[in-house]
């Protein structure tokens, strides 16, 4: 027996030696390998594609324990074009796995933005068996003369898609008519589509019993922000904070380079805005948040939104390679009433906390009159703090501080205004980018205090103020040494307290 063992061992070792002499796969030289996700400016806890261009999130749907993220994607180049639906999945909305392109440009028709539903009752008839209801993608087919709404379906759990032979399902024979967002309206047991009439600055609402035939119901708009073409509508129901039995309806619309929201009711045919007419409310007041839509069928029924972190005015010029475009942190959405206004409350999903490394804390309140250098630094972190500033104080936080640069977040206690400013960060790559450097929005202090929750991820800054009452998203392209953090004030006393800092791990 022992002899036999020795024999096998000997053959094993010599075979091993022989293998070592003639390697089957000669090692690829390091310099020849493309190493993704370590490039300058590459976000480490936001979704970005391995390579090439992306824009709007599309077809957000939760299925079998996974969140599917489809998105506008050019599979060939790092600039807009050949629009297709890229595809990624995640179990927690934070760690993503990229899958093959789901829908490609066909017959010179690009696949523009749209949505995805699971047709559980097989109203479309695309399903082949009862226990395998189809998924149906509703998207805009775009060519140089027209835009119309098309269907593609999957009967293998979103792995592959087939175009419906009866396309288009909704065609006004017009050049601009896009971004269908479809959901099931249980009360009337039928499908509802919100779709943009960009030039009219309206959202049209259609209904259907089959996803194949659509009837016009109503138009919403033009209203509030009509400064640019309206795109990417979404209508969804949200919880009301502190009122467990109450729900409201929200409409998202994107226009040109920013977004707005309306809050009110939807009765199956019409959307009614209950916020002051023509007052503009934005889900994000930063320069880089667009085309956000929601997961409507999350396990706890709280909608989660994702937006594209970029701005059409300079999107093609940002200095990132070999990819362009990122998705925002996924945000849980609710509303609350403040005075006579419904305000959107947004919080990054809790799963994000799993990327935190050990917390660093400043235990004592810090009084600042001019400048205080914070003992933490980096370009990949999360930070929370409270700041007390009484009028006429202007105070705040600087991040990405280097010899020549910084990004500032400041609160003007007199104007009750929060401002972000990236004017002192590198900007030479685009002539348009500097025009969007400074953004402000109204923020009410509570007992003269405001709360800031800041995420900095290499080239993305996302700031949630006062528990998500106000959000700003901005791209910045700092030098690698721009890692400092400081608190500042204009000579008046500001007090910083409850300062928490976490270095963030990467999501892969």
- Cβ proximity to ligand FRU: between 231 and 462 the closer is 231
**291 touching ligand FRU, by CB under 6 A:** yes
- Cβ proximity to ligand FRU: between 192 and 291 the closer is 291
- Cβ proximity to ligand FRU: between 177 and 295 the closer is 177
- Cβ proximity to ligand FRU: between 72 and 208 the closer is 72
Give just the sign of the alpha carbon dihedral 311, 313, 316, 319.
negative
**Nearest distance in Å: CB 107, ligand FRU:** 17
In this chain, which of 123, 124, 140, 204 binds ligand FRU, going by CB under 6 A? Answer: 140
Reported as type and span, the H/E element at residue 8 is: helix 2-21
SS3 call for 18: helix
In this chain, which of 49, 152, 158, 179 binds ligand FRU, going by CB under 6 A? Answer: 179
Reported as type and span, the H/E element at residue 9 is: helix 2-21
**Nearest distance in Å: CB 464, ligand FRU:** 23
Please give the residues from 458 up to 477 whose contact with ligand FRU meets the rule CB under 6 A: none
- Phi, psi (degrees; rounded to nearest 5) at 351: -60, -20
CA distances from residue 441 to 121, 179, 288 in whole angstroms, order as listed: 45, 28, 15
Burial class of residue 407 (count of CB atoms within 10 Å of its CB; 0-12, 13-18, 19+):
buried
Q: Which of 118, 174, 100 is nearest to 141 (CA)?
A: 174
**Nearest distance in Å: CB 297, ligand FRU:** 22
The rounded distance, in Å, linking the Cα atoms of 486 and 475 is 19
- Cβ proximity to ligand FRU: between 83 and 445 the closer is 83
Please give the residues from 203 up to 242 whose contact with ligand FRU meets the rule CB under 6 A: 231-232
Beta bridge partners of 178: 196
The rounded distance, in Å, linking the Cα atoms of 379 and 124 is 48
Catalytic site residues?
A: 56
**Nearest distance in Å: CB 315, ligand FRU:** 9
Note whether 177 and 219 are within 8 A (CB). Answer: no
- Cβ proximity to ligand FRU: between 226 and 492 the closer is 226
DSSP letters along 363-430, please? -S-EEESSEEE-S---SEEEEEEEEEE-TT-EEEEEEEE-SS--EEEEEETTTTEEEEE-TTS--TT-
What residues contact 478, with CB distance under 8 A and at least 6 apart? 379, 400, 402, 405, 407, 425, 426, 459
- Cβ proximity to ligand FRU: between 105 and 457 the closer is 105
Interface mask toward ligand FRU for 74-113; x: CB under 6 A? ---------x----------------------------xx
From the CB of residue 53, how many other CB atoms can be counted at a distance below 10 Å?
25
- Cβ proximity to ligand FRU: between 150 and 178 the closer is 178
**Nearest distance in Å: CB 474, ligand FRU:** 18
Residues touching ligand FRU, count (CB under 6 A): 13
Give just the sign of the alpha carbon dihedral 54, 59, 60, 61.
negative
- Cβ proximity to ligand FRU: between 80 and 185 the closer is 80
In this chain, which of 72, 124, 260, 489 binds ligand FRU, going by CB under 6 A? Answer: 72
> What Rg, from alpha-carbon coordinates, does the chain have?
25
**Nearest distance in Å: CB 424, ligand FRU:** 29
CA distances from residue 403 to 371, 417, 478, 483 in whole angstroms, order as listed: 15, 28, 11, 10
**Nearest distance in Å: CB 22, ligand FRU:** 51
The rounded distance, in Å, linking the Cα atoms of 93 and 350 is 10
- Cβ proximity to ligand FRU: between 83 and 465 the closer is 83
**Nearest distance in Å: CB 364, ligand FRU:** 46
Interface mask toward ligand FRU for 344-383; x: CB under 6 A? ----------------------------------------
In this chain, which of 87, 150, 178, 324 binds ligand FRU, going by CB under 6 A? Answer: 178
**Nearest distance in Å: CB 234, ligand FRU:** 12
N-term to C-term CA, the chain: 48
Buried b (16+ CB within 10 A) or exposed e, 125-157: ebbeeeeebbbbbbbbbbeeebbbbbbbbbbee
Note whether 298 and 309 are within 8 A (CB). Answer: no
**Nearest distance in Å: CB 286, ligand FRU:** 16
Contacts with ligand FRU, residue ranges (CB under 6 A)? 55-56, 72, 83, 112-113, 140, 178-179, 231-232, 290-291
């Amino acid at each position: 027996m022992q002899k036999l063992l020795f024999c096998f061992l000997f053959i094993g070792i010599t075979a091993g030696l022989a293998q070592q002499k003639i390697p089957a796969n000669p090692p690829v030289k390091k310099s020849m390998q493309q190493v993704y996700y370590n490039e300058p400016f590459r976000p480490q806890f936001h979704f970005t594609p391995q390579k090439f261009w992306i824009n709007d999130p599309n077809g957000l749907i939760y299925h079998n324990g996974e969140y599917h993220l489809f998105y506008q994607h050019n599979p060939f180049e790092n600039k807009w074009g050949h629009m297709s639906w890229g595809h990624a999945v995640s179990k927690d909305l934070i760690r993503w796995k990229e899958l093959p392109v789901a829908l490609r440009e066909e017959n010179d028709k690009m696949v523009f933005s749209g949505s995805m539903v699971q047709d559980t009752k097989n109203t479309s008839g695309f399903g082949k068996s009862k226990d395998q209801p189809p998924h149906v993608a509703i998207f805009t087919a775009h060519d140089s003369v027209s835009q119309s709404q098309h269907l593609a379906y999957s009967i293998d759990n979103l792995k592959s898609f087939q175009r419906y032979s009866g396309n288009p399902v909704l065609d006004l024979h017009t050049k601009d008519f896009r971004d269908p967002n479809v959901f099931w309206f249980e009360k009337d047991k039928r499908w509802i589509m919100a779709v943009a009439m960009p030039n009219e600055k309206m959202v049209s609402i259609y209904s259907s019993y089959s996803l194949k035939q659509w009837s016009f119901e109503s138009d919403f708009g033009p209203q509030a922000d009509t400064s640019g073409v309206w795109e990417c509508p979404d209508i969804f129901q949200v919880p009301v904070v502190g009122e467990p039995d109450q729900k409201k309806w929200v409409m998202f619309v994107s226009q040109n380079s920013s977004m707005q929201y309306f809050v009110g009711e939807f009765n199956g045919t019409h959307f009614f805005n209950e916020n002051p007419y023509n007052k503009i409310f934005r889900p994000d007041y930063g320069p880089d948040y667009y085309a956000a839509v929601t997961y409507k069928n999350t396990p706890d029924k709280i909608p989660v939104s994702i937006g594209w972190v970029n701005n059409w005015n300079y999107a093609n010029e940002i200095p990132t390679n070999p990819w362009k475009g990122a998705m925002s942190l996924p945000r849980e959405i609710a509303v609350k009433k403040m005075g006579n206004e419904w305000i959107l409350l947004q919080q990054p999903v809790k799963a994000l906390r799993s990327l935190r490394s050990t917390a660093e804390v400043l235990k004592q309140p810090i009084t600042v009159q001019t400048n205080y250098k914070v003992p933490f630094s980096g370009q990949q972190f999360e930070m929370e703090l409270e700041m007390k500033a009484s009028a006429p104080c202007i105070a705040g936080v600087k991040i990405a501080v280097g010899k020549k640069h910084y990004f500032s977040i400041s609160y003007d206690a007199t104007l009750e205004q929060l401002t972000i400013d990236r004017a002192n960060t590198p900007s030479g790559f685009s002539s348009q980018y500097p025009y969007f450097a400074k953004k402000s929005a109204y923020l009410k202090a509570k007992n003269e205090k405001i709360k800031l929750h800041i995420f900095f991820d290499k080239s993305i800054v996302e700031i949630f103020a006062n528990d998500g009452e106000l959000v700003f998203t901005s791209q910045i392209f700092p030098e690698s040494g721009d890692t400092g953090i400081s608190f500042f004030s204009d000579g008046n006393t500001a007090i910083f307290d409850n300062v928490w800092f976490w270095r963030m791990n990467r999501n892969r």
